[in-house]
Amino acid sequence: MINVADTWYWNLGFSSNPFSTKPATLTNEVVGIQLEPILEKIDNGEIQFIEAPLGSGKTTLLKSIIARFGGKKKLIYASCIKNECLDLRGLLKNATLKGKLLNKLSNGMILMVDEAQNISREEAQEITDYLEQGNLKAVAFFGTNYNKKLLTNKLNDSLNGNITVLSYLTPEEAVELVRKRIGYVNLIPDYVIREIYGRSNSNPRRLLQNCEDVCRKASELSIKELTLTDAGTLLKTSEPAAAKKKRAIIKAKTSKKAKKYDKKKPKIKKTENHQTATVTYSGYNLENIRTYEEEMPTAKKGHEE
Amino acid sequence: MSWYETQGYIEDPFSTKKGAFTEQSVNLKVPAAELVYNIEAGNMVLVDGPKGTGKTALLFLAIEKFEGERKVIYFDCSKDKVDIKKLMQKRYGSLGRVFNLTPRGMVLMLDNFKSLSRKELERAKYYFDNNYLRSIVFAGNGAELPENVRDRIGNRVIKLKALAAKDAVELVRNRLGSLDFLPEKIIRKIYAKSRDDAGAFLEKCKKVCQTATEGRATVVSEKHLKAIGDKRG
């Protein structure tokens, strides 16, 4: 048996990893997403598509919605797998005990489709048919990208632009997410969380993983309160080799570009009334750039108009 | 009487059976600690590395740490078709199947996951997301995992390196107890013919030792390397 007491989170007073990336480890964890409009659309029997990149909280959101309908036998969850057919008929039949016993499909069900980017035309057609027959009342697709071609014309018409794109968390929301998990501990101050979030490509899942790595390493080094430098150093050491390589390439590219820009200093010509600068940066030719004082009134005016 | 019994061993010291001599493994102490932490912390982990680097040995080292908890499911996907639902329900025996009971907080170790179907992979992901599985450990080539699973794994990848010559010597020392019968020079020669594969290396060591024992030699010499196709031997 392993000794949990050796882990960093045990030392902080947690019995399990507070930065677990399992969706909705804690209840009511949805941060930065307006849940009510989505629930309202479901109640109104609408069809909607929730689009977000990987690790941004789609499954967490889905689980929160499922929790709202818990125990009512009104909701079916299905996950689309490439090249494998969704057994929608079986799901509708087994949704209620009555359906199971009488071999009858349930009516007025809500369908939640996870990994909807993998949906096939046949599956989309099946969903359309069940919607028409009244077996399904509302459908919510969750996927990384909405592809019009994969859905049937009827489904696309019913969707009618009902696409919710989950936006990235703001740094403050990222802090809120981490605080919901770990509380107000001295080890990781808010500004360090913001820094880690920036280094996590604004991805919540990556943020939690990086927070775990940083806290674990800090605990090993007996650091009581993390600083920005500590976080930077610890994150660099926990980076996998491929990510390190990628970062190095990006850094090399940006420094090359910066050097290129430094070499091309803007030529400034002085005229009678105003300054005119001709700036050429790799193909862009911006002429007649006026000084700030002269440009401001016109810009303001234009904005007012 | 087998060669190892003649040499005074109760069991084959070069056995490549799963879980055999895991405590004598070389270079697996740090990866094992990392793996055990990640399992305990409830992460999805990938054990990556070429053939013969000790992926299975690492899994067995971790299993030993959870001994007695009845929480670990190990499955070699290359041997049989996996049905994760059935595997989970086996935890409660026939009762589990009858009453459709699914245990919670299990650890699933999928060795050679390349043979795992996409459907089962999604099912494993579902069980993980819903806390039936506390942790999933994939052993194999990470490039074969779908994007959504790779994203969940993130940087929880334990990369195993191929066995180096000095590690090979240490491995044999650990298995035999000393290098009196199989000298270091010979081990290095056997290692050179094994192409970094620990399994193949142990098999070759076994063959050479067997030949030497049958020839009533007290020490393995270069002439015994003929057994593994060494022309110079």
Mean pLDDT for the stretch of residues A209-227? 89
Closest residue in A to B64 (Cα) is A1
**Is A22 within 8 Å of B67 when comparing Cβ atoms?**
no
DSSP track, B22-68: GGG-SS-HHHHHHHHHHHHTT-EEEEE--TTSSHHHHHHHHHHHTTT
On whether any CB of chain B is under 8 Å from the CB of A59, the answer is: yes
pLDDT in tens, B146-182: 888 888 898 899 998 888 888 888 888 888 888 788 8
Q: Pick the more confident residue, B111 or A244.
A: B111
Which residues of chain A does B40 touch, with a Cβ-Cβ cutoff of 8 Å? 2, 4, 7, 17
Q: For B160, left (φ over 0), alpha (ψ -120 to 50), or beta?
A: beta
**Is A1 within 8 Å of B67 when comparing Cβ atoms?**
yes
- Give ipTM to 2 decimals: 0.77
| Nearest CB to B152; choose among A21, A216, A239 | A21
| CB B52 within 8 Å of CB B162 | yes
What pLDDT does residue A275 have? Answer: 39
**B135, B170, B162: which is closest to B59 by C-alpha?**
B135
What pLDDT does residue A199 have? Answer: 87
On whether any CB of chain B is under 8 Å from the CB of A240, the answer is: yes
Question: Element (H or E) spanning A269, and its range?
Answer: strand A267-270
Amino acid at B112: N
Place of tokens 């600068």: A277
pLDDT in tens, A11-39: 888 888 989 888 755 555 677 777 888 88
Which residues of chain B does A238 touch, with a Cβ-Cβ cutoff of 8 Å? 155
Question: CATH topology for A35-165?
Answer: Rossmann fold (3.40.50)
Q: What angle do CA B59, B62, B65 make, to 5 degrees?
A: 155
Residue B38 confidence class, pLDDT cut points 50, 70, 90? very high
| Nearest CB to B151; choose among A4, A82, A205 | A205
Q: Which residues pair with B137 in a beta bridge?
A: B45, B109
Q: Where are the domains of chain A?
A: 35-165, 174-258, 267-304
**Is B156 within 8 Å of A84 when comparing Cβ atoms?**
no
**Is B129 within 8 Å of A55 when comparing Cβ atoms?**
no
| Nearest CB to B42; choose among A20, A213, A243 | A20
pLDDT in tens, A93-133: 887 777 778 888 888 889 888 888 888 888 888 888 888 88
What pLDDT does residue A83 have? Answer: 59
Mean pLDDT for the stretch of residues A272-300? 37
Residue A2 CA to residue B134 CA, distance in Å, equals 15
Examine the pLDDT at A299 and tell me if it is beyond 50.
no
Alpha helices in chain A (DSSP H): 8-11, 35-43, 58-68, 88-94, 97-102, 121-133, 153-159, 171-182, 190-199, 204-220, 228-238, 241-263, 292-304
Closest-CA distance, A282 to chain B, in angstroms, reads: 36
- Interface probe with A: pick from B129, B159, B160, most Cβ of A within 10 Å: B129
User: What's the mean pLDDT when you consider all of chain B?
Assistant: 84
Examine the pLDDT at B18 and tell me if it is beyond 80.
no
Residue B94 CA to residue B101 CA, distance in Å, equals 10
Residue B36 CA to residue B42 CA, distance in Å, equals 10
